[in-house]
């Protein structure tokens, strides 16, 4: 080789090393809705106006089958640790982003199962955190004090200490206010960021800003029966239903663990059987629910605008999902005040929850698809193909392994002096990239008396601690044909596999 050739190769090597830079790590935004049905969002067939969530769906990937844990606390516990159950040795996903050099921000609802270690709490893993535990009102109540406190970096706040841009203060708005404030701080640094934004919308109580309610007043007078059929047809049209899904017949709420059991709230009845006055009252109830979701979407829009204005959208992956299906349990406290204002404490009823969970059966807590099936949207410009839909199955337990892939790091061997518990899920990144991933051996959801266990084409599920039901979930995703009596061996096989997962787990599932 000539001296000239050697010099050329040396120059080329130097040029390549200077110009070829390692791709920057993506910013990560994880957004969660609360007690929202599979079909409520516009991107999944609903008539509620969600243009910002729709934008993410149109520009990204939608799953037709994605599972949560069917209730607030187990979903968050599993999603944030990658474990169906665990204990000391659980690793919060914010520990992973911190290991990779990220700034961590959380603003919203924190609610864990007892097995989640203390060191996973928000103030221990996030650089900035504003959070509350479980149920709190949306408006400052007439008493001047919230039912449960809010915390800023672990310090309890009085209601008058909560920062808010718009009065009267409204929870969904000031959750976002804190997130945007901390994003501004983060943008001044060079490191990537992880924003966890678990909204409380549209959890009880039904409280919303008057201008949002007005947008929907009268839109629900056609009733849940007509609207459910309309949603189902729209879902078929846009392709967000699992293959083979049919519209399940409406049925009563079968959950016998959450009383009081008032027929007006638990039982199905035809819309046309109601008086005009009753229809008007129910229209208001659903209009407030829709308004809560609308307000959440408006705030997601504020986050997207902030990312755009600061040139962050192109290198940010945004994921959206709900913690469980729609919630129909009676928790009304003040009966002489209609849904909407700060002194209203109404909850959604079964018939509206049936609409929300179209086309599936049952609701929050249940392992039947109405409780455990969630929208899941992943948006990542230039990486995830826009306006795509996948029928591959995913679960919140897969999010922690996905973070590992996105961050390109190794799972830590230990955490807080404990050996790290092995993750139970597998990465969704192959699906994001348009590839086929190997489906996990099983998926679990539902509370103990309402547990489901899915493996391959089949799924077992029980209601109220009763006998296992069996469904060929690939052919019958709406769970209309119980095969337990005709295939007892399959029931026993899946039940034994489910029991073995309990033995292998550090603690029994909740």
Q: Is the pLDDT of residue 8 over 60?
A: no
| Average confidence score pLDDT of the chain | 93
Contact indicator for 490, 470 with CB cutoff of 8 Å: yes
pTM of the model: 0.94
Q: Is the pLDDT of residue 15 over 50?
A: no
Reported confidence tier of residue 16, pLDDT bands at 50, 70, 90: very low
Q: Is the pLDDT of residue 19 over 80?
A: no
Q: Is the pLDDT of residue 136 over 50?
A: yes
Reported confidence tier of residue 506, pLDDT bands at 50, 70, 90: low
Question: Among residues of the chain, what percentage have pLDDT more than 90?
Answer: 88
Question: Among residues of the chain, what percentage have pLDDT more than 70?
Answer: 94
Beta bridge partners of 445: 452
User: What's the whole-number mean pLDDT along residues 95-124?
Assistant: 97
Q: What is the pLDDT of residues 54-69, one digit of tens each?
A: 999 999 999 999 999 9
Question: Residue 94: which H helix or E strand, with range?
Answer: helix 93-99
Comparing CA positions, the residue from 478, 437, 454 lying closest to residue 235 is: 478
144-148, 286-290, 404-408, 474-478: segment of lowest average pLDDT: 144-148
Q: Is the pLDDT of residue 11 over 50?
A: no
Kindly give the interhelix angle for 72-81 and 399-407, rounded to the nearest 10 degrees: 30
**CA 82 – CA 507 distance, rounded (Å):** 14
User: What's the whole-number mean pLDDT along residues 454-481?
Assistant: 97
Q: Is the dihedral of CA 92, 324, 212, 28 positive or negative?
A: positive
- SS3 of residue 230 by DSSP: helix
- In the CATH hierarchy, which top-level class contains the domain 27-435? alpha beta
> Domain segments of the chain: what residues?
27-435
């Amino acid at each position: 080789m000539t001296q000239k050739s050697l010099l050329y190769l040396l120059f080329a090597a130097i040029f390549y090393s200077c110009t070829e830079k390692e791709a920057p790590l993506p910013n990560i935004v994880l957004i969660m809705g609360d007690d929202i049905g599979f079909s409520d969002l516009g991107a999944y067939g609903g008539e509620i106006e969600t243009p910002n969530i729709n934008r993410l769906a149109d520009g990204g990937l939608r799953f037709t089958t994605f599972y949560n844990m069917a209730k607030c606390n187990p979903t968050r516990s599993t999603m944030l640790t990658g474990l169906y159950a665990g204990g000391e040795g659980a690793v919060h996903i914010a520990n992973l982003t911190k290991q990779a050099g990220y700034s961590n921000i959380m603003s919203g609802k924190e609610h864990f199962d007892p097995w989640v270690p203390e060191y996973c709490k928000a103030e221990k893993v996030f650089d900035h955190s504003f959070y509350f535990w479980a149920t709190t009102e949306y408006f400052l109540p007439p008493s001047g004090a919230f039912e449960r406190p809010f915390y800023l970096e672990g310090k309890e706040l009085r209601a008058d200490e909560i920062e808010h841009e718009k009065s009267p203060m409204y929870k969904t708005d000031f959750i976002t206010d804190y997130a945007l404030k901390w994003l501004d701080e983060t943008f001044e640094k060079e490191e990537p960021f992880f924003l966890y934004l678990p909204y409380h919308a549209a959890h009880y109580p039904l409280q919303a800003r008057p201008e949002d309610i007005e947008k929907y007043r009268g839109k629900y007078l056609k009733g849940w029966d007509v609207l459910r059929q309309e949603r189902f047809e729209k879902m078929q049209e846009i392709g967000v239903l699992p293959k083979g899904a049919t519209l399940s017949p409406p049925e009563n709420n079968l959950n016998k663990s959450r009383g009081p059991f008032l027929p007006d709230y638990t039982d199905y009845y035809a819309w046309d059987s109601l008086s005009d006055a009753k229809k008007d009252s129910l229209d208001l109830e659903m209009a407030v629910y829709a308004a809560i979701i609308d307000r959440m979407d408006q705030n997601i829009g504020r986050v997207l605008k902030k990312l755009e204005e600061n040139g962050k959208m192109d290198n940010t992956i945004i994921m959206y999902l709900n913690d469980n299906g729609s919630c129909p349990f009676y928790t009304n406290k003040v009966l002489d005040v209609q849904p909407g204002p700060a002194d209203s404490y109404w909850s959604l009823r079964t018939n509206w929850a049936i609409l929300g969970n179209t086309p599936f059966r049952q609701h929050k807590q249940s392992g039947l698809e109405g409780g455990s099936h969630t929208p899941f949207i992943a948006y990542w410009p230039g990486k995830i193909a826009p306006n795509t839909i996948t029928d591959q199955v995913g679960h919140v337990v897969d999010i922690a392994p996905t973070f590992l892939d996105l961050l390109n790091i190794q799972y830590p061997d230990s955490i807080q002096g404990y050996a790290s518990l092995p993750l139970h899920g597998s990465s969704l990144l192959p699906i994001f990239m348009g590839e086929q991933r190997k489906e996990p051996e099983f998926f679990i959801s539902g509370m103990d008396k309402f547990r489901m266990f899915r493996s391959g084409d089949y799924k077992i599920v029980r209601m109220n601690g009763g006998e296992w039901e069996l469904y060929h979930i690939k052919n019958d995703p709406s769970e209309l044909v119980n095969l337990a009596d005709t295939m007892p061996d399959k029931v026993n096989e899946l039940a034994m596999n489910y029991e073995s997962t309990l033995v292998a787990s550090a603690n029994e599932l909740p």
